[in-house]
Amino acid sequence: MLQLSFAERLCLWQQQHGRHGLPWQQADAYRIWLSEIMLQQTQVSSVLAYYPRFLARFPDVSSLASASLDEVLVLWSGLGYYSRARNLHKAAQMVVQEFAGEFPRTRLQLERLPGVGRSTAAAIAAFAFAERETILDGNVKRVLTRCFGVEGFPGDKKVEQQLWCLAESLLPTDAAFMTAYTQGLMDLGATICRRSKPACILCPMVDVCVAARDGRTAELPLRRPKKAVPTKHTVMLLATHGDQVWLQRRPPTGIWGGLLSLPEFASSLAVEDWLAQMGQGDILPAWDELEHVFTHYRLIITPLPVRLAQLQAQGTKELDGQWLSLELAAEAGVPAPVKRLLLQLANAR
């Protein structure tokens, strides 16, 4: 293989050993876009569980654009990074309204869509339209850093720009190979050039890889300098009235933006004010704490059950929320830890 270019090696390897038969591996811009958004910071195995259900409900961009955000969030619930779902909905509406329901073909036009950055736009353009555009996600950064011995943390702007230039220089000259090449980059990083225990003996680049040659696969790419992960605390209210539970709409931006969730308080003392506004009832003993880990912090949740015997006439109208049966609440668009608490509440009754 010494006489072959990086792109030629990769395409040959992908055709023989890469991943084939994934449900989004077809020249359909909508399906490719949907999969690329779902795959952002998410493993293929997780997306495979959500993708068919999402596609069954929204088979094309028009059906997605005409749906309510609540419908989208319900199907997205549990997949995490909910800003992706909100951007997905906005982007679908933009494709329908500004592009007459047809996805734009060029990377620069695709980057105009909410939630679509340079690498995601390049993947859509390459897969759907055979455009000569390079991707540069975390897996690709790892492959290039090791293969070409790129020093520095890939998240640094200067190093990242160096990797973009390198990635562009490696593109196949014939656009007909863009699908195999782009998929090959993804497959190589995900299945061979893994973060830990890379399978170098199976890699088509092993004889030209700087990291393999110098024994630096554990060192490259350089890690981000470690920072202490902060811990935050919240009290989540499990307020019930009969067989119903109160869910409150979260703000449209931020963590769990736009989802229904349990009301949150800084302490159990603030719950008394809420109870006075909502009606008459009892605050019950708190449940065991529940930990939920985000990318940048740990959230310690104290679940606090409250049983309301009588509601204020105006109380619920002044709050952005609703009473739902326990059965329906767990199936609504709620964050994963909230769903866990709702199921626990239903099982305890």
Which residues span the domain enclosing 237? 231-348
DSSP 320: S
**CATH number of 256's domain:** 3.90.79.10
Separation between Cα atoms, residue 176 and residue 107, nearest integer Å: 17
| Structure-model confidence comparison of residues 201 and 349, the more confident one | 201
Has residue 344 got a pLDDT over 80?
A: yes
102 is catalytic: no
Neighbours of 145 (CB within 10 A): 26
What pLDDT is recorded for position 318? 59
Lowest mean pLDDT among 149-153, 194-198, 243-247, 254-258: 254-258
Q: Which of 42, 190, 88 is nearest to 50 (CA)?
A: 42
Same domain, 285 and 200: no
Q: Is residue 102 one of the residues assigned to a domain?
A: yes
Same domain, 37 and 104: yes
DSSP per-residue string spanning 227-282 = -PPPEEEEEEEEEEETTEEEEEEPPSSSTTTT-EE--EESSTHHHHHHHHHHEEEE
Q: Domain boundary residue among 186, 214, 242?
A: 214
Highest-confidence segment of 51-65, 303-317, 327-341: 51-65
Among residues 36, 151, 291, 327, the one annotated as catalytic is 36
When pLDDT is cut at 50, 70 and 90, the band that residue 71 belongs to is very high
Q: Are residues 190 and 84 in the same domain?
A: yes
Peptide bond into 252 cis (omega under 30): no
d(CA 9, CA 303): 55
Domain boundary among 179, 214, 249: 214
For residues 158-180, average pLDDT? 97
Report yes or no on whether pTM surpasses 0.85.
no
- Tens digits of residue pLDDT in 17-33: 999 999 999 999 999 99
C-beta separation of 272 from 237 below 8 A:
no
Say how many CA atoms lie within 13 Å of 8 toward its Cβ.
Answer: 6
Of 230, 133, 241, give the one whose Cα is nearest residue 182: 133
End-to-end CA distance of the chain: 66
Q: In this predicted model, what pLDDT tens digit does every residue of 313-335 receive, in sequence order?
A: 655 555 778 999 998 998 998 99
- Distance in angstroms (rounded) separating the CA atoms of residues 205 and 225: 28
Indicate if the pLDDT at residue 203 is higher than 80.
yes
Buried b / exposed e along 55-82 (16+ C-beta atoms within 10 A): beebeebeebbebebeebbbbbbebbbb
* Same domain as 239, residue 302: yes
Residues above pLDDT 90, as percent of the chain: 83
The residue-averaged pLDDT of 142-153 equals: 97
77 and 147 both lie in a single domain: yes
CA 297 to each of CA 43, 175, 230: distance values in angstroms, whole numbers, following the listed order: 20, 43, 5
3-state secondary structure string, 64-117? HHHCCHHHHHHHHCCCCCCHHHHHHHHHHHHHHHHCCCCCCCCHHHHCCCCCCC
- Residues 187 and 334 reside in one and the same domain: no
Q: What is the pLDDT of residues 109-136, one digit of tens each?
A: 999 999 999 999 999 999 999 999 999 9
Domain count, the chain: 2
Residue 220 belongs to a domain: no
Number of Cβ atoms within 10 Å of the Cβ of 318: 10
What is the rounded average pLDDT of the residues 194-203? 96
